[in-house]
Structure 1
């Protein structure tokens, strides 16, 4: 049984939210444009990155790839390089593929139809809704975790946000609150309210523009919302790497496997038996991904024979690189941290 307020004046609540946003909305560079390309880039960057952490990455990415054409014609390695530090590198690969889609399928013009935007690689319902509303004025709710949290609390709604139909359910609720021709601003207002006021923990309800209308607040039940019953249990995964070096060079190869770190560079994962006697260091690293707990065993192998080094590299198709040149490659974060500890951190 849902406890939402059946008599709520949805539109009035939406107008109060917009009034608050016009006075308190965050001053962000991508809010000064309606360019769908730039909005697309910012939405992908900030999906899993806090605003304050990602702003410089956004500026640098846009400076280097100012439009779809530049991004589409760039090398994959360079796109990954400009994504360095953001993690979730599959997002960068999808951006690159989607840019090529726009060139090939839409004559280089960012599509304006919502269904066409949804067809772009890596673009889900949230991102398509954000672009459609902000850039093209479509009355579509950009439902994300902020929406689930705010709407669940305002209406004391116990609809399970982990349910497959949660997006559609809360979209319908949000659209009822949207003032006409203000969909973009409404979506941005909801994002700001969820990020700055209606936080997952310790929300500052006293400053919330919707506190008078918020059922969960008035009933003293904020901690009970949103309702989420389905949680993905992370799996454990062990990886082994060998840092094989000769003088100032070490060996790397680009990953091709899909399940994690696709197209990033890594060290050898196996070595000849004769190399095992040359192991000069060992390190164990714990690293968390969204649904995986990694344990990485790293062994340092120091070779004194150039022939042995070159033969292994040729046989197994590794590239030899210096630490200085490695800055132009993108590595998984734990391997990047290991390199830093070897060459600069110790």
Structure 2
């Protein structure tokens, strides 16, 4: 059980953080609103995308889908199209699904409570805490990698951040520092401090508002924290595609919801033996995903018979596309780059 003195010390650090944020917080367009829909969209986009890269995508997405109802009513392909360039397309699919949850389960109104927000598809504890604290003043820390790094360094805490209990451990620690008022600003301040000052490499400790209290800084051990024992295993994966074309047309199909690149479009992965004589140029592409190194082989198959082209497409459920309209569909980045190289 923490003493009154310990509580006061923790709150003192939180107060310093809020004072710094009031002056140095980033001026971002989504911070000018308390609309939970817009905060939700921005939190999902910026989970895997740097702010400077994602701002235009955020503004375009909000312009096309300004509210939950518009997003829920949209066609799945169009949602993916407006997500184009952001990667991790399962996020877009989850947003679309969750918008329909809000319409069906919450009468079209964004849920206000942390527990209800957490029920939405694709929303984890961090995102639910961010929305509920920023929009509804719930006192819940939005713990993410920034929190782990800042708190580990401030307290020179060697708790393993890869441990399954790390989220609860650092949530409790963050809550001790969280002021009664403005929990949303506290969470945003921690995000800004971790992003702009307390960086994983080359942190700007001299300008950090918490450097007087930071045990890691004062002991010269900043780079020793946070501590993480488990390393994510990177796997190698080879994929094979056949770019089957006739004239200016080629065959594509939409991927399923399993494995990588959910619901994006791709080329055939198999061809009949009779097509092998048409195989021409081959291109090999290397591409990195979060936990996978991909080697992608694309074989160009130029058919001379329109009947063969149509028969193969119809029997195997492929769509016919061309170089004028493929931009209106979402392809994995390496396949999109391949198509652009042929124009």
Question: What is the distance in 2 between the residues matched to 1:7 and 1:17?
Answer: 16
Aligned ranges 1:19-168 → 2 under 5 Å: 19-168=19-168
Q: Which runs of 5+ in 1 are unaligned?
A: none
Aligned ranges 1:1-12 → 2 under 5 Å: 9-12=9-12
Question: What is the distance in 2 between the residues matched to 1:289 and 1:109?
Answer: 35
Question: What is the distance in 2 between the residues matched to 1:7 and 1:310?
Answer: 72
TM-score (norm 2): 0.97
Q: Which residue of 2 aligns with 1:217?
A: 217
Question: What is the distance in 1 between the residues matched to 2:283 and 2:64?
Answer: 36
SS at structure 2 position matched to 1:139? coil
Question: What is the distance in 1 between the residues matched to 2:171 and 2:337?
Answer: 41
Runs of 4+ in structure 1 off by over 2 angstroms are 5-8
1:288-316 Cα offsets, whole Å, 9 max, x none, are 11111111111011112111111111111
How many residues in Structure 1 have an aligned counterpart in Structure 2? Answer: 339
Q: Which residue of 2 aligns with 1:195?
A: 195
SS at structure 1 position matched to 2:309? helix
Question: What is the distance in 2 between the residues matched to 1:8 and 1:196?
Answer: 27
SS at structure 2 position matched to 1:324? coil
Question: What is the distance in 1 between the residues matched to 2:120 and 2:327?
Answer: 30
Cα deviation for residue 247 of structure 1 reads 1.1
Q: Which residue of 2 aligns with 1:282?
A: 282
Cα deviation for residue 8 of structure 1 reads 7.8
Q: Which runs of 5+ in 2 are unaligned?
A: none
When structure 1 is superposed on structure 2, of 252-261 and 194-203 the one drifting more is 252-261
Cα deviation for residue 264 of structure 1 reads 0.5
SS at structure 2 position matched to 1:123? coil
Question: What is the distance in 1 between the residues matched to 2:31 and 2:316?
Answer: 49
Q: Which residue of 1 aligns with 2:207?
A: 207
Note the aligned Cα RMSD (angstroms): 1.2
SS at structure 1 position matched to 2:19? helix
TM-score (norm 1): 0.96
SS at structure 2 position matched to 1:277? helix
Question: What is the distance in 2 between the residues matched to 1:202 and 1:71?
Answer: 41
Is 1:264 the counterpart of 2:239? The answer is no
Distance 1:199 1:45, change over 3 A: same
Question: What is the distance in 1 between the residues matched to 2:175 and 2:198?
Answer: 19
Q: Which residue of 2 aligns with 1:16?
A: 16
1:103-152 Cα offsets, whole Å, 9 max, x none, are 00000000001110000000000000000100000000000000000000
Question: What is the distance in 2 between the residues matched to 1:8 and 1:271?
Answer: 69
Q: Which residue of 2 aligns with 1:312?
A: 312
Question: What is the distance in 2 between the residues matched to 1:149 and 1:180?
Answer: 23
Is 1:298 the counterpart of 2:290? The answer is no
Q: Which residue of 1 aligns with 2:330?
A: 330
SS at structure 1 position matched to 2:300? strand
When structure 1 is superposed on structure 2, of 192-201 and 298-307 the one drifting more is 298-307
Cα deviation for residue 6 of structure 1 reads 6.7
Distance 1:6 1:236, change over 3 A: farther
Indicate if the aligned counterparts of 2:7 and 2:176 stay in contact, CA closer than 8 A.
no
When structure 1 is superposed on structure 2, of 62-71 and 312-321 the one drifting more is 312-321
